[in-house]
Structure 1
Amino acid sequence: MRAADREQAIIEEAVRFFAEHGFEGQTRELAKRMGITHSAIYRYIPSKEALIERVYEHVYLSRWKTEWADLVADRSRPLEARLVQFYLEYVERIFDYCWVRIFAFSGLKSFDLPSRYLTIVRAQIILPACAELRAELGLPSPDEIAVSERETELFWGLHGRIFYLAIRRYVYGTTIPENLEPIVRDAVRSFRGGVGPVLKDILAEAAKASPRGA
C-alpha cells in the first residue's frame, strides 16, 4: 500500500475507533484492530494528538460547506427558506454515527474539538443569521446595536433543537423519524414565527441600557 493510502486508512479506521471508544482509546489497540504494528501508526502520524487533529479535519472540516455562509446572507429569499435549506443540508452532512459520537466524546473529555467547531458555526451561521433576522424585521443592524449573547442564544436554541435529534439517534440509541425534512421545516417555521417579538424586546432593552439610548 502506498504511504498516502496507508495514512488515509489509519485516519479512517481511527475515526471509527474513536467513535466507539472515545479519545481515551489507545493507539496500540487501534493498531491491533488494523493488523499493523503500533510503531507503524507513528511512521505516518507523529503522535496521538496529531492523529486526533487529522480526525477533526476528516470528520468536521471536510463536511463543512463554505457556501452556507453565503446561503444565510442571500436576501433574495425569505430567511425562513434560507434556514430550512441550510438545516436540511446540514442534517444530511452531520447525521452520522462517527460525527456525532466523536463530538460527544470529545466534549465530555475536555478536548477542544467541539469548541473549535462551534466557533465556526457561530461565525458563519449564528451571527449572520442574527443580522439577517434584524434586516427582515426592520430592526437596527449589529453596527447600531451589538449582537448580545442573549440574542445569539435564540439561534443556538434552534440549532440545538435540530442537533438533539442526532444525539437521540447516535448517543441515546432511541428512534427518531426517518424523514427529517418535515421535522426541520417545523422547527424553523415555529422559530421564525415566534422569534420576532422576543428579539424586539431584547433590542429595546439594549437600546435603553446603552449610552446612546439613555
Structure 2
Amino acid sequence: MSDTTEDGPRRAAGAPPGRRPNGLARERAIVTAATDLFAEIGLDATTRDLAARLGITQPLLYRYFDSKEALVERVLAEALSGDWKPGWDRALGERAVPLRERLIAFYADYLDEVLTYRRVRLALFSGLKGLGEGLFQDLRARILDRVLRESRCAFSLPEAAGARDAELVRALHDSIFCLALRRHVHGWSPAWGMREMVAQRVDTFLEGAAVGMARPVCGEAPDTELAGPPLSTGGLLWAAAPDRDRDRAPRGAATRAAMVWEKNEATPQRAHD
C-alpha cells in the first residue's frame, strides 16, 4: 500500500514534517531491530546487516538516522537507561522487615526486570567500545545510595558513610550483575534457582559489611561505643565481644549473617533482626 495520496504524504500526529504516516512506527521498528542485532552480535554489526534483517534498503534506513553512530547512541540511551519501579522505594525502606529479606526480594526482582539479555549484553559491548559512559548509572547510583542507607540503619550505625562503606555496597551490586553476565553472556544455568544465588550473595555481604562498616577508617580512633575487642584473625572490630561457645557451634550462612554484628546486649535492635 502506498504511503502517499494525490495531495502528498499524510503525517501522523507528532511526526516531523515530511515523515510518512508510518514513519514513527518504522523508526521504532528500526530501533527495536537494531537493539536486538547489537545485543546479539555486538556494536560492530553493520547497517547492511540491519537493513537485511528489516527487509529494507540502507538508503531508507539512513532517512531515519543520519549515521550508524546516531543509531547506536539512540539504542544505548533507550536500552541502558533502566527503570525504577515505584514499589522498590517502599520495599527497601520497610524497616519492620529484616534487611536480608528486603535485599533478596529487591535484587531477585532487579535481575528479572532490569538485568535482561538486551541490557546486559549491550552494557558489555558498549563498555568494550568505550561508549555509554554515564548510561545506566543513574539507576545504579540510586540503588547504591538506598542500600547503603538501609544497611547502616540495620547495623545501628550513623547514616553518614564514607567511600569505604559505599564500596562494600558496590561489591554486592556488582556481584548481582555478574550473575546476569554469566546467564546472558556465558549461557550459564545455575544449579540452584536465581533467588537462591541472590540470597547467597546477600548473606556474604551482610557477614562482611556489618563488620567492615564498624571498623574505624585507617588513622581514626574507633568509636568507643561501637567498637569491641578485635578478632584473633584479621583484626576486625566487633561491636560486642563474641560469645565463644556460640562461635564454636556450627551454623549456616543466614544464621552467621544474623549474628555477625550486634551493638550490645542493651540495644533492642540487632543488626539483621
In structure 1, the residue matched to 2:137 is 118
Within a 5 Å distance, the mapping from 1:21-32 to structure 2 comes to 21-32=41-52
Residue 138 of structure 1 aligns with an amino acid whose one-letter code is S
Instruction: Say if 1:141 and 1:178 are closer, same or farther in 2 by CA, change over 3 A.
Output: closer
Instruction: Say if 1:74 and 1:62 are closer, same or farther in 2 by CA, change over 3 A.
Output: same
In structure 1, the residue matched to 2:234 is none
Residue 118 of structure 1 aligns with an amino acid whose one-letter code is Q
Higher relative contact order (CA 8 A, sep 6+): 1
In structure 1, the residue matched to 2:200 is 186
Contact 2:91–2:102 at 8 Å: present in 1 too?
yes
The match for 1:157 among 159, 164, 171 is: 171
Tell whether 2:119 aligns with 1:99. yes
Contact 2:31–2:74 at 8 Å: present in 1 too?
yes
In structure 2, the residue matched to 1:208 is 220
In structure 2, the residue matched to 1:132 is 150
User: How far 1:13 sits from its partner (Å)?
Assistant: 0.6
> Could you list the runs of 5+ residues in structure 2 that have no partner in the other structure?
1-20, 222-273
RMSD: 2.5
Q: How many residues align?
A: 201
Identity of aligned residues (%): 35
Q: Per-residue CA shift, 1:25-44, capped at 9, x if unaligned?
A: 22232112211111222322
| Bigger radius of gyration | 2
Q: Per-residue CA shift, 1:77-102, capped at 9, x if unaligned?
A: 33222211210111112343222211
CA distance in 2, matches of 1:92, 1:181: 10
Instruction: Say if 1:129 and 1:88 are closer, same or farther in 2 by CA, change over 3 A.
Output: same
TM-score, normalised to structure 1's length?
0.81
